[in-house]
Structure 1
Amino acid sequence: MSEMIFTTLTKAARTLSLMAAVTLGAQAATAQNMFAPVARIDSMVVTEFEVQQRQRFLQLLNAPGSDRDSVVEGLIDDRLRNRAATDVGLELTEEGTQSGLSEFAARANLTTEEFTKALEQSGVARETFRDYVTTSLIWRELIRARYLNSVNITEAEIDRAMGASSGGSGLRVLVSEIIIPAPPPQAARVNALAGQISQSTSEAEFSSYARKYSATASRGAGGRLPWTPLSKLPPSLQPLLLALAPGEVTSPLPIPNAVALFQLRAIEETGTPTQSYSAIEYAAYFIPGGRSEAALAEAARVQGKVDVCDDLYGIAKGQPAEVLVRETKKPGELPKDYAIELSKLDPGETSTALTRANGQNLVLLMLCKRTAEANAETDRDAVLSALRQQKLQGYSTQLLQQLRAEARIIYK
């Protein structure tokens, strides 16, 4: 009997040992596959682990470009960017790195450590986050160090961008817009999404994003706005648009509880003098419920009852005074998001694209009137900065294309 028990235990032990060996072998094979090369760039490699980590990171941010092919190409570009910086002895200080990480995490109203822990809980290593941010920072420093002294902006270029040449003839622009709501809990995801959208190079791609993500009335038209005099647009936006070539997109512009992007489709000289404005009068009526169906329905009801700003007093009668704000401000003093929306309106027209109170209140924004001004001043320094940034971006694209052309890239 004892011999039979011993034999049975021995067989069981052997079976368990075999199972353990098979399991460990499978785990080892999986680990080995995770770190197998997916692509070789000269003597550098991109591993399966990095691809899966970058994909997971972008997916958590709900950012476009998280498909496998895009991630592989992005990691190849990162290898080339980092090597170019190393070749010239360029390194980030730890202080600069921590500042960049902190700035990125702050978009989600989190500290670096809080943001990192949240990523780790979702399976993303802190090194993945750090690499993503530091590569962007070191590349920006490289481009500035390499090309900034070569960027010469002439007075004629500034004049042309400001529409000051040709006897003061005015300019008008065709622009497409995207405004994405970004309440604090969604800020990091929306900022990552906006960063991806800003890389759009075609009208069709930008319009597709607008239909999917934008909160403006123009989303049904793919974000496309009609011809607009440049002078009607917010002063802070004018030089940014003038620095773009048709098809290019502004960097993400943070506005209260949202992020805005604009694509320049066309620009032309009108042959008529530029009309400037000294003051903008507007009214803002706040509706509880944010962008809920009930709040939007109430906004539609109010829009059907008002033709001028004075009509809003009747709508707000009996409610707390703070539900209706009516102000007159210089164009440069307007809240950036109000300025953007008001630039699309004629007196008596309204917009419901914006929110306040962290998205809890829907804003019914109405333009009361614009006061014309002759010879309004434009900030030449802002135009200079925008033109310089445009040229640096061009150098960045050219250098990366050159690095890819010179490298031997092999896909596994």
Structure 2
Amino acid sequence: MQEMDYLNEAQNGIKFRKLYGGIKDVLVPKMYTEYSTSKVLVMEWVEGQKLNEVNDLYLVEVGVYCSFNQLLEYGFYHADPHPGNFLRTYDGQLAYLDFGMMGDFRPELRDGFMEACLHLVNRDFKALAKDFVTLGLLPPTAEKSAVTKALTDVFQDAISRGVRNISFGDLLGDLGKTMYRFKFRIPPYFSLVIRSLAVLEGIAIGISPNYKVLGSTYPWIARKILTDSSPQLKSSLQNLLYEEGVFRIDRLESLLSESLRTETALVQKPVVGTESNIAMKQMLAFTFTEQGSFVREILLREFAKGLDAYGLATLDSFTFSGSGPSSSLTEEDMTNLRTFYRLISLFSGMQKAKSVSTQVKAVSKYGEALTPLDEASLVMYQLPSAQEMLPILSILPELPQESQQRLLQLPGDLVGRLVTRAFARTIRRIFL
């Protein structure tokens, strides 16, 4: 039997402590390499109880949060997470033990895992089928259309109940039953990842039967996807938000709201204020930071398109008000106007206060389709009033200085984009 090299384990512990020892309420014992040998490991003494023997859901969530940091932030993860390797210290911290078995999650696999979560939650099963190939769960020869249908059958019901109700263990079980005919397999690296998450979910379920790992950590995944600098993730986010060239604001709304969700103190410290004001402040603070630059660029583009459509609709309301149903508004303009309404409502905290259909054409009370001009008038009528927008102004001084400075640049950016759109439209009308 080959003996373990405890010097190697000590180095693993040192690296693990450096990467994750700073997470709130995580304790990684100090290694004393000067006293250790290949056969003897000397480390800090830690006292406590096994995590599965105490009723502490908060520390389970600390462990889940730390696990996702291991997997998706740095890729260096604890690959032997059985209950005996988690201790609840007597001062309420989560202590990690035993660093003999560690794993490395390569960057492309990290990105692929996050993409799979993103596509799963947004029911993009065609993209999910490609993710399974990237992750090595399916061979490249798997027939994509058949796989897409099978994944739809497996996940559709689970996803319809909402991300917070998705059971990690149940999904894996359903996959195994359904996907075997496509030569579905779990690579060695992924089995360790699954084991890590399954152990924590199992401990959590013992405390709270309805606990779901994915539901607890998806806010962190959503924020990571929105802010990560990886070209692969940016491309995936771009493709998700623009389906056949049409901006899917519902998907951006979902990602933003999930990324700001405060399920645990690890994600967000409690703040005081009304729910809508808190949401507005968090959303604006995120959007106008360096981390939010990719999302901010998308929002600026869509705001400019919406303002342009709003200007055209306003002009049409005067030009055609007395001369019948004619309008110069195109279907693209109407889509941009509906999106503009959703964006204004989102950032004014009124997304639930009023309703206007952005998915289907509006119809009149007689069941007839409204003209573009009538629908434009309806959308503009339902835009928040100046008084309803006042809460935004009241929270601007509370934003971080960095966000305030970027907000000051917003009018100039929008004007530049509007001028560009107006110029391009004029050229098209002259020459086309």
Smaller-chain TM-score bracket: under 0.3
Q: Which has the larger radius of gyration?
A: 1
Q: Specify which structure has the higher proportion of strand.
A: 1
Query: TM-score with structure 1 length normalisation?
Result: 0.27
Query: TM-score with structure 2 length normalisation?
Result: 0.26
Q: Specify which structure has the higher proportion of helix.
A: 2
